[in-house]
Structure 1
Amino acid sequence: MTKYSQEMAEYRGEVYFAGAEDAHHVWIRKIPGVAYTNDERFETYNGRELKTVAVTALDAWYEERMTATWRGQPFNVIAVDDGKAEAGYAGGEYAWARQNGLEGDQYNGYRATLEVAELADVQVDRTDFLARWKERNPG
């Protein structure tokens, strides 16, 4: 199981949200609520602390996507914390979604906070962006 289903980077031994900036740089953003020891030159935009770093300075850069089923229906798990999973409904049975207390609508999607223990068929797919980058940029 993964904690976040999104692009992440490890920089100087700490984990951040991440995203490609250009062909040789990645932006990293501090995860809210996490205490960091590396505090150098992070800028604040709209309450988010971030900075751009060279891909070569990263320890890891990857994306993990977690899917699961709940009550027999498919979900994309967005984040897991303290035994709870924030998840988006990936099925198309909108009456089922409403009957099972999911928030949202058929146009904007349904979401729910689910008990991790109730999830079944959990799968995590990992894409290693740093390995791909190194293959394309040898030496």
Structure 2
Amino acid sequence: MTKYSQEMAEYRGEVYYAGSEGEKDVWIRKVPGVSYVNAEGFEKYGDREFKTVPVMELDAWYVEKMTALWRGQPFNVISVENGKAQAGYAGGEYVWAAQNGLDGDQYNGYTATLDVGELADVRVDRTDYLARWKERNPG
């Protein structure tokens, strides 16, 4: 199981949200609620703190996408914390979604907070962006 189902980077041994910033750089953003040892050089934009770093300085750069079944229906798991999964409904049974207490509607989608213990067929697909970048930029 993964904690974050989005693009992430590991920089100087710590984990951040991440995104591409051109050919040779990646922006990293502090994860809210996490204390960081390496806090220098971050710029603050509202309640978010960003920094651009060279790809070569990253320990890892990847995206993990987690999917699971809950009560036999498919969900995209967004995050997991304290035994709870924040998830978006990936099925098309809107009556089922409403009957099972999901938040939202058929036009904007349904979300739910689910007990991790109730998830079945949990799958995590990892794409290693750092390895791909190194293949295209040897040396």
TM-score by length of 2: 0.99
Partner of 2:88: 88
**Aligned pairs, number:** 139
Tell me how far apart the structure 2 counterparts of residues 47 and 135 of structure 1 sit (CA, whole Å). Answer: 35
User: What is the CA-CA distance between 1:119 and the residue it aligns to?
Assistant: 0.1
Q: Tell me, what secondary structure is at the counterpart of 2:130?
A: helix
User: What is the CA-CA distance between 1:104 and the residue it aligns to?
Assistant: 0.5
User: For 1:18-39, what per-residue CA distance to the aligned partner results, in whole angstroms no more than 9, with x for missing partners?
Assistant: 0001111000000000010001
Tell me how far apart the structure 2 counterparts of residues 120 and 30 of structure 1 sit (CA, whole Å). Answer: 31
Superposition pairs for residues 43-58 of structure 1, below 5 Å?
A: 43-58=43-58
Percent sequence identity is 76
Partner of 1:22: 22
Partner of 1:104: 104
Q: Tell me, what secondary structure is at the counterpart of 2:66?
A: strand
Tell me how far apart the structure 2 counterparts of residues 113 and 73 of structure 1 sit (CA, whole Å). Answer: 14
TM-score by length of 1: 0.99
Tell me how far apart the structure 2 counterparts of residues 21 and 112 of structure 1 sit (CA, whole Å). Answer: 32
Q: Give the residue type in structure 2 aligned to 1:97.
A: A
Superposition pairs for residues 3-22 of structure 1, below 5 Å?
A: 3-22=3-22
Q: Give the residue type in structure 2 aligned to 1:20.
A: S
Q: Tell me, what secondary structure is at the counterpart of 1:59?
A: strand
Partner of 1:36: 36
Partner of 1:62: 62
Q: Which 4+ runs in 1 deviate beyond 6 A?
A: none
Q: Tell me, what secondary structure is at the counterpart of 2:132?
A: helix
